[in-house]
Amino acid sequence: MIARGLYTLALWLALPLICVRLWLRGRREPGYRRAVAERFGRHAAARGAAAGRPLIWVHAVSVGEVRASIPLVRALQALYPQCEFLLTCMTAAGRDALDQVYGDSVRKAWLPYDYPFAVSGFLETFRPRLGVLIETEVWINLLAACRARNIPVLLASARMSARSARGYARLAALTRPAFERLASVCAQSEVDATRIASLGAHRVNVAGNLKFDVQPDPALAAAGAAFKAQLGGRPVLLLASTREGEERLLLEALAPRLPPEALLVVVPRHPQRFDEVAGLIAAAGMSVARRSLKESPQRVRVLLGDTMGEMAFHYAVADVVVIGGSLLPLGGQNLIEACAQGVPVVIGPHTFNFGQATQAAVAAGAAIQVEDANGAADVASRLLLEPDRRAAMSRAGLELCATHRGATLRHLEAIKPLLKL
């Protein structure tokens, strides 16, 4: 209790900095200035109870978690048609992804900052019967408030890196009660389950990774296949979900290695960096077309994927993909989507956010892990010239995803005892 009080005091002291940071982020991404009052527990939406339908709340912090939530939310909607669904997030890109994925089929809001008054306002407004937190989202005051109101909270598709586990363990007086307040945990792997249980969570089971159950958008995949057919056999290398600092490294490394006829497709992870990356490509002396402008890539070296929600399109175009976020110590991005569409994967050394999936993909032969940008450029460029090797990696990726599907059903089995309707 003392630790939580000190934590809350620290939050109050940090409030001016939090507000300044929100304002600054809003300069680059206007979405952060949308419905700011919701971040402090003041939601204009009607109360869930007053609407006459029980409400299930799912929190997906950003784009990756939104995509991971899709199979579970769709399954819950089918299983509990009498319920309303609320999806919350924390980032502007995540809010846009919620709009793209779910449209008007769910209610959407910001999850408030972890102030007691804010989380109380949120819970009193929506009165959920169940909360589902996707992956690793442990909020101290929010979980305490849910326990006080007898709202069960499940941690879904939960992962826990060794580094994160050490960080939580160092603050055990604060974090252990939060983990103990979780009604149930569905971990991605045995390793994740062991680490989470050691932090205080009860009723931890291994349910698998929901990302393996995400199906590529068939319309986008078909559009990508049609687009690829128009390229006249040009090999395509995709740099997917690249982060700040990686594009420059990769462009420099690829310049002497990429086959002259190849098309390079670059899709930055964050939309606010689209113009910046276009400038980096031009500075590297490469001609570029922009996907958002529907410009033809026929006579250019690079296609910039400056749109949101089109990864299934880009994977359908690609012959090989280099996964971003992994060449600098950023933890990596999702390689499962690429494997699910049969795209051979090259990934860097920094994959702690997707450690289990990376190990499985490398062991299966669906991915090749390299040490740096030069290694990624070298391996990816050679793969473009080796169709038989690419075909073997493609089959391995498809088989890997087929083997690991089923997490959604295991999550539903953990949810059913918690949801009292």
**Which pLDDT score, from 0 to 100, does residue 1 have?**
78
> Residue 77 to residues 81, 102, 108, 330, 407: CA-CA distances in angstroms?
5, 11, 15, 34, 16
pLDDT score of 47: 52
Are the C-beta atoms of 179 and 201 separated by less than 8 Å?
Answer: yes
How many CA atoms lie within 13 Å of 380's alpha carbon, on the beta-carbon side?
Answer: 38
How far apart, in whole angstroms, are the C-alpha atoms of residue 301 and residue 170?
A: 49
Average pLDDT over residues 278-302: 94
Burial class (CB in 10 A: 0-12, 13-18, 19+), 283: exposed
Residues 6+ apart with CB under 8 A from 195: 160, 162, 165
Residue 136 pLDDT grade (very low, low, confident, very high; cuts 50, 70, 90): confident
- In this model, does residue 331 exceed pLDDT 60? yes
User: What is the sign, positive or negative, of the torsion defined by CA atoms of 158, 164, 165, 171?
Assistant: negative
Taking residues 184-194, what's their average pLDDT?
A: 96
Q: What is the pLDDT of residue 52?
A: 76
Check whether 49 has a pLDDT greater than 50: no
List 109's β-bridge partners, or say none.
88
Asked if residue 315 has pLDDT above 90, the reply is: yes
Would you state the pLDDT for residue 137?
A: 81
Pair 64, 311: CB distance under 8 Å: no
pLDDT above 90 (res 267): yes
On the CB side of 398, CA atoms within 13 Å amount to 9
Summary mean pLDDT of the chain = 95
Pairwise pLDDT comparison (1 vs 360), residue with the higher score = 360
- pLDDT for res 92: 94
**Over residues 133-153, mean pLDDT:** 95
Sign of the CA dihedral running 258, 316, 242, 335: negative
pLDDT value of position 48: 46
pLDDT at 46 over 80: no
Q: Do β-strands 55-59 and 84-89 pair in parallel, antiparallel, or remain unpaired?
A: parallel
Give the largest Cα separation in the chain, rounded: 67
Tokens for 227?
């687009």
Please give the single-letter amino acid code of residue 32.
Y
Domains of the chain: 2-208+406-415 (3.40.50.11720), 218-404 (3.40.50.2000)
The CA dihedral of 259, 262, 268, 274, to the nearest 10 degrees, is 110
Q: Which of 29, 38, 65, 124 is catalytic?
A: 65
SS (H, E, C) 350-365: CCHHHHHHHHHHHHHC
Report pLDDT for 50: 43
* Structure-token match 């995709």, residue found: 238
Burial letters 71-105, b for 16+ CB under 10 A, else e:
bbbbbbbeebeebbbbbbbbbbbbbbbbbebbeee
CA dist 263 and 339 (Å) reads 20
pLDDT at 214 over 70: yes
Query: For 355-403, how does the pLDDT look when each residue is reduced to its tens digit (9 = 90+)?
Result: 889 999 999 999 999 999 999 999 999 999 999 999 999 999 999 999 9
pTM listed for this prediction: 0.91
Distance of CA 119 to the CA centre of its chain: 24
Half-sphere exposure at residue 176, Cβ-oriented, CA atoms within 13 angstroms: 11
β-strand partners of 158? 187
- Which residues fall within 8 angstroms of residue 369, CB to CB, at 6 or more apart? 347, 348, 349, 351, 358, 362
CA distance linking residue 45 with residue 88, whole number of Å: 13
The set of residues, in sequence order, having a beta carbon less than 8 Å from that of 137 and lying 6+ positions away, is 59, 61, 65, 155
65 is catalytic: yes
Structure tokens at 180: 């103990």
Position 51 scores a pLDDT of 57
Instruction: Report pLDDT digits (tens) over 56-72.
Output: 999 999 999 999 999 99
Average pLDDT over residues 115-135: 97
State mean pLDDT over 143-168. Answer: 96
What percentage of residues in the chain have a pLDDT greater than 70? 98
Could you tell me where the beta strands, DSSP code E, fall in 27-129? 55-59, 84-89, 107-110
For 33-68, letters b (16+ CB in 10 Å) and e give eeeeebbbbebeeeebeeeeebbbbbbbbbbbbbbb
